A and B are shown apart, each in its own frame.
Chain A
Amino acid sequence: MKRMLAVVAAAGLALSMSACTDPGAGSGSDDGTKTVGVVALVATDALNAAVIKGVTKVAEENGWEVHVTDTNGSVEAANAAMITYSTTQKMDAIAVMAFQTPALQAGLQSAIAADIPVVSWGGELGNGIIATTSARQVGQDSIDALLEDFGDEGAILALTYHTGVLCLYRGYAFDDTVAQHTGLDVTRNEVVIPGQVENGTAYTSAWLASHPKGSEPLAVWGSWDEPAIGAVAALQQSGRDDVWVYSINGGPQALQAVKDGTIRQVVWQDGEAEGQGMMQAAVDYLDDPASWQQKSIDIAGVVVTADNIDQFLADHPDALNP
C-alpha cells in the first residue's frame, strides 16, 4: 500500500514540480548546509540508482544534502544541469554520471569558474574533474572471466552501446581482448536506448537463426544487463539452451537470471561503493583542495556464477531487492 501511495504522490509531485524548485540549494543558501548536485545518466537504471544511493549515504553522513537531475541520457541536459548547479544553485560539489568528460566542456567550464569540484562516474580524468571511477575495469573483468569459462573457440554475439561511457570502455576492453583470440567469431550489434531490451531480443533472435544448435560453442555478451536480459528472452522464446549469456552490472534481474540458470555469469559492479568513493573524494577535496591529486577510484567487479550466487546473495542481502 505504501508503494501505491508513492505512485499517487509521485503523480502529484510531478504536477507541482515547477512550484517546488529550490533555486538556492548550495552553501550559498542561508543555513550554510553543503549540497552535492548529482547529474544522472538515467536515474531509473538500477546501477545509476545504486551509485546515487552511495553518494547519498556518504553525503548524509557528512551533513550534506543531495539534489539529483535525471538527464535521460542527454549530454545537453547534463551540461545544462552542471551550469545550473554552478551558477544558479551554487552547489558545493557536482557528481556527474557516465558521460564522457570531453562532452561536458560547457558544464565543466562553468564549474571551474565557480570553483566547484566535479567527481565523475566512469568519465575520463580531465580539467575540473577531481576524481573518477574506472569504467574499463569491470569490462576487463567480464571478458577475462568469459574467456576462462567459455574458451577461445566459438561464436559470440556482442551487444554493445558506445554512447554511454561505461559501456564504451567495457566495449574497448572486450574488443582489445577478443582481438587476441582468432578462434572467436564475434558479431557486434549496437543497441539503442530506449529499446535496449527489445533490441537485445531482436538481435539475439536473428543471430540464433544463423547459429543453429550444435554448430559451435555459442555465447552472448551484453555490455550491460538489459540487452542481456533481452537475449535471455530470445533464447527462451526459441527454446534454445545451448547459448551462454554473460553480462555486466549485476542488477537484480541479472542476478536472478544467474540464480535461475539463464545467465551464465555476471560481473557485479558495486555501484554503491563507487558512489561512496566519489562522494568521499569530494568531501576530502574540500577539506584540503591545495594538496589534492586527481585520482581514479578502481573498484573491481565480482564475478557471479551459479557456483557462488548463493554465497554472493548471502554477502549482499539487498542485491535482489535493493
Chain B
Amino acid sequence: MTSTAVSSRPSGDSPEPVAPANRRSPGHLALVILSRYGTLIGLALMLIVFTLRAPTVFPTLTNFTNILAQGSLTAIIAAGLTYALVVGEFDLSIGYAASFAGLLVVGFMAIQGMPIWLAIALMLVIGAGLGAVNGILVTKVRINAVIATLGVGTILIGAAFAYSPFPIVTNIPPEFSLLSLGRVIGVPNSIPIMVIVLAILWVILNKTDLGQKMQAVGGNMEAARLSGIRVDRIKIFAFVVAGVCAALTGIMLSSLLGSGTSSAANGYLLNAFAAVFLGSATLRDGEFHIVGTLVGVLIIVVGFNGLSIFGAPSWAQQVFSGGILILAVGLSTLSRRILKAS
C-alpha cells in the first residue's frame, strides 16, 4: 500500500464484545453519549450560551441565515473532502482548486466571452478533471496522496497566476452574482445549493452500492480488493467528487465577490479539514460522513460568529477553532478507547 490511509479511529479497533453488565452501567452510557454525541452537545451548548448572553442579537433569524450562508461554501468543499477521506486518502489541493476555479470561471465569461451556463459547466468538468488527475496520481502512479495533491495544488497556484496575476473584475455578466446572492423564499441561494449538494452526496454514500464500496475501501482496502471491488476506480471517483465540490465552491465564491482572484479560496482548506475531522467524532465511531461534516462546519461557523458578536479578540477565536477541534476529536477518541478497555 503506497497511499496514506486516514482515519480518526484508533488503530486496530475491530469491534469487541462488551460485557453486558458494563453496557448497562451509567458510566458506560455516559461514555457512549460522549463519544458519539459530544460534538452535538458542544454545538448545543454553544447555541445555548450565545443565546443566553446575547438574547437579542445571536438567536435571530437574520443571524442564523447569515451563519448558514457563511458556512455553505465551507460545507460544500468539506463534503467533497469527506469523500476523499472516506476512501482513506487526503486531498490538499481543494483550496487551490477552488481559487483556480473561481478565477477561471470569471475569465471564461469576461475574457473568453462564454455564456454563464457554459462557463460554469466547463469549470465543473475541469474540476472533475483535476480530481481525476489527483486520483490517477495516487492510484496508478502510486504517489502518496499528500504529496500528489499538494503538488497539483501548487501547480494550480502557478497556473492561476499565469492566467491572470490580477483580479478579473470587468465584463462579468451581472446575472452571475445571482448564483450566490439571489434568494429563494428570502434565503440566499448558497444555502439551498449547499442542501442539495450535501443531500446528493449523502444519498450516494449511504444509499447506493457505490457508497458502500467507498466505505469498504476506506475500512479495509485489501479486504475490499479481495472481495472484487475495483479499489482504484472507487478512489478516483472520490477524488473527482472532491474536485467538483472544490470547483463549485470557487465558482460560488466568485459569484459572491463579483470577481475572480487567484487566491481567494485558499483559506477553505484548513476549515474544511477541521470540519471533516470534527464531523468524524459525531454520531459514528471515528468515521467520516456527510452529516458529521455539516455538524463540523456549523460548530466552526457558530463559534466564530458568537465570539465575534461578543467582541472576543481575534487570538481567542483562533484558540477556540483549534481547541474545539482537539477537544472534540480527543474526547471522542478517548471515550472509545475507554469503552473498548471496559
Contacts and interface: CB of A to CB of B under 8 A. Distances in A.
B163 A49 contact: no
B318 A192 contact: yes
Contacts of A320: 169-170
B164 A197 contact: no
B62 A238 contact: yes
A205 B166 contact: no
Contacts of B58: 209
Contact of B161 (A44, A190, A199): A44
Given A6-B162, A202-B70, A46 B167 contact: yes
Interface residues of A, number: 59
A253 B318 CA distance: 28
A195 B264 CA distance: 7
B256 interface: yes
A229 B165 contact: no
Nearest to B305: A206
Interface string A174-199: 00000000000001111111111111
B314 interface: yes
A13 B161 CA distance: 12
B266 A194 contact: yes
B111 interface: yes
A21 interface: no
Contact of A253 (B69, B169, B270): B169
B181 interface: yes
B25 to A, nearest CB: 43
A206 B69 CA distance: 12
B314 A201 contact: no
Interface stretch (B150-158, B224-232, B234-242, B278-286): B150-158
B158 A10 contact: yes
Contacts of B54: 210
A49 B169 contact: no
A253 B256 contact: no
Nearest to B174: A260
Given A3-B111, A209-B57, A256 B169 contact: yes
Contact of A205 (B66, B157, B168): B66
On chain B, which size bracket covers the interface? 35 or more
A46 B161 CA distance: 10
B263 A206 contact: no
Given A3-B163, A209-B63, A202 B169 contact: no
Contacts of B37: none
A237 B261 CA distance: 19
A280 B112 CA distance: 38
B15 interface: no
B259 A256 contact: yes
Given A205-B305, A209-B63, A10 B159 contact: yes
Contacts of B165: 43-44, 46, 49
A253 B261 contact: yes
Contacts of A232: 257
B218 to A, nearest CB: 28
A83 B276 CA distance: 40
Nearest to A318: B166
B304 interface: yes
A18 interface: no
A322 B112 CA distance: 17
Given A3-B164, A46-B166, A195-B270, A210 B158 contact: no
Nearest to A3: B163
Interface string B236-264: 00000000000000000100111101111
Nearest to B308: A206
Nearest to A188: B314
Nearest to A255: B169
Interface string B39-81: 0000000000000001001101011011101100000000000
Nearest to A10: B162
B309 interface: yes
A174 B234 CA distance: 54
B61 to A, nearest CB: 11
A238 B191 CA distance: 13
B10 to A, nearest CB: 31
B127 interface: no
7 contacts: A4-B163, A9-B162, A197-B253, A202-B301, A206-B309, A252-B166, A253-B169
Interface of A: 1, 3-4, 6-11, 13-15, 42-46, 49, 187-199, 201-203, 205-210, 226, 229-230, 232-234, 236-238, 251-253, 255-257, 260, 320-322
Given A210-B57, A257-B258, 12 more contacts: A1-B112, A3-B107, A7-B160, A8-B159, A194-B266, A195-B266, A197-B267, A198-B267, A206-B304, A207-B309, A237-B256, A238-B66
Nearest first, the 3 closest Cβ-Cβ pairs linking A and B are: A195-B267, A206-B308, A10-B162
